[in-house]
Structure 1
Amino acid sequence: MDKKLSFSSYLLVGSMLFGLFFGAGNLIFPVHMGQEAGANTWLATAGFLTTAIGLPFLGVIAIGVSGSNGLFDLASRVHPIYGYVMTILLYLTIGPFFALPRTATVSYEIGLVPFLPESFRTTGLAIFTLIFFAVALAFSLKPNQLLVWVGKVLNPLFLAVLAVLIVLSLVLPMGTVSSIPVMESYESAPFFKGFLEGYNTMDALASLAFGIIVVNSLKDLGVKSPKGIALDTVRSGAVSILLMGLIYGFLAYMGASSAGQFAVSQNGGIALAQIANYYLGAWGSVLLAVIVTIACLKTAIGLITACSQTFCELFPNKLNYKTYTVIFTVISLLVANVGLTQIISLSIPVLMFLYPLAICLILLGILSPLFHNRRCVYLIPTLFTLFASVGDLLAALPAQTVAHPFFAAILAFYRQYLPFFSLGMGWVVPLVAGMLMGFLVFLITKKKNPSRAA
Structure 2
Amino acid sequence: MNRTNVVFAGFMLFSLFFGAGNLIFPPLLGLESGSSFGPAIMGFIITGVLLPFMAIMAVALSDNGLISMGNRVHPVFGMVFAIIIYLSIGAFYGIPRAASVAYELGFKQVFHVDGGFALAAFSLVFFGITYLISLNPKKIVDRIGQYLTPLLLLVLAVLVIRAFFTFDNVASSAAGKYASSPLITGILEGYFTMDAVAALAFGIVVINALKDKGATSKRELVKGTFGAALIAGLGLAVVYFSLGWIGRVIPNENGFENGAEILTSAASLLFATGGGFLFGSIVILACFTTCVGLINACSRFFNEIYPKLSYSSYVAIFVLIGLLVSNLGLNMILELAIPLLVFIYPIAIVLIILSLFEYIAGKSQMMFRLSVAATSVYALYQVLTSLGYQLEFLARLLEVSPFFDLGLGWAIPSLLSAVIGYSIDRIKG
Give the TM-score, by structure 2 length: 0.85
Give the SS at the match of 1:177: coil
Matched, 1:152 2:142: no
The alignment status of 1:99 with 2:94, answered yes or no, reads yes
Question: How far did residue 12 of structure 1 move?
Answer: 4.7
Question: What SS is found at the alignment partner of 2:48?
Answer: helix
Query: Does residue 295 of structure 2 align to residue 304 of structure 1?
Result: yes
Residues 13, 206 of structure 2: 8 Å contact kept? yes
CA contact (8 A) 1:154 1:291 kept: no
Task: Confirm or deny that 1:336 pairs with 2:326.
Answer: yes
Match of 2:367 among 368, 377, 399: 377
Residue-pair matches, total? 428
Instruction: Let me know the Cα RMSD of the aligned residues.
Output: 3.3
In the other structure, the counterpart of 2:380 is: 390
- Matched-pair contact (CA < 8 Å) for 1:37–1:44: yes
- Kindly indicate whether residue 39 of structure 2 is the aligned counterpart of residue 43 of structure 1: yes
Residue 297 of structure 1 aligns to which amino acid in structure 2? F
| CA contact 1:200–1:351 (8 Å) conserved in 2 | no
- Among 335, 344, 360, the alignment partner of 2:350 is 360
User: Unpaired runs of 5+ in structure 1?
Assistant: 447-454
Match of 2:407 among 424, 428, 433: 424
Please report how far the alpha carbon of residue 153 of structure 1 lies from its aligned counterpart in structure 2 after TM superposition: 2.2
- The whole-number CA distance in structure 1 between the counterparts of 2:284 and 2:356 is 36
The aligned amino acid for 2:72 is: R
Question: Who is 2:247 aligned against?
Answer: 255
Query: How many Å separate the matches in 2 of 1:145 and 1:71?
Result: 23
Which one-letter code corresponds to 2:303 in the other structure? C
Structure 2 equivalent of residue 410 of structure 1: 394
CA displacement at 1:55 relative to structure 2: 0.9
**Amino acid of the residue matched to residue 413 of structure 1?**
L
**In 1, are the aligned partners of 2:197 and 2:345 still within 8 Å (CA)?**
yes
- Picking from 86, 89, 94, the partner of 2:84 is 89
Once the two structures are TM-superposed, the CA of residue 294 in structure 1 deviates from its matched residue by 4.1
Counterpart CA distance in 2 for 1:162 and 1:108 is 19
- CA shift digits 1:314-333 (9 cap, x unpaired): 3345x554554344333323
CA contact (8 A) 1:354 1:389 kept: yes
Contact 2:167 2:251 in 1 (8 A): no
Alignment partner, residue 200 of structure 2: 208
State the match for 1:440 in structure 2. Answer: 423
**Counterpart for residue 109 of structure 1:** 104
Q: Aligned partner of 1:91: which letter?
A: Y
Counterpart in 2 of 1:57?
53
Q: Which runs of 5+ in 2 are unaligned?
A: none
Q: Is the 8 A contact 1:24 1:102 kept in 2?
A: no
Write the letter of the residue equivalent to 1:241: G
Paired letter, 2:243: L
TM-score (norm. length: structure 1): 0.81
Distance 1:83 1:254 in 2: 42
Q: Distance in 2 between matches of 1:101 and 1:323?
A: 18
What residue in structure 1 maps to residue 118 of structure 2? 124
Kindly tell me: are residues 134 and 6 of structure 1, through their superposed partners in 2, closer, same or farther at Cα, counting changes over 3 Å?
closer
Q: Distance in 1 between matches of 2:29 and 2:75?
A: 38
Q: Is the 8 A contact 1:199 1:351 kept in 2?
A: no
What one-letter code is carried by the residue in structure 2 that aligns with 1:68? D
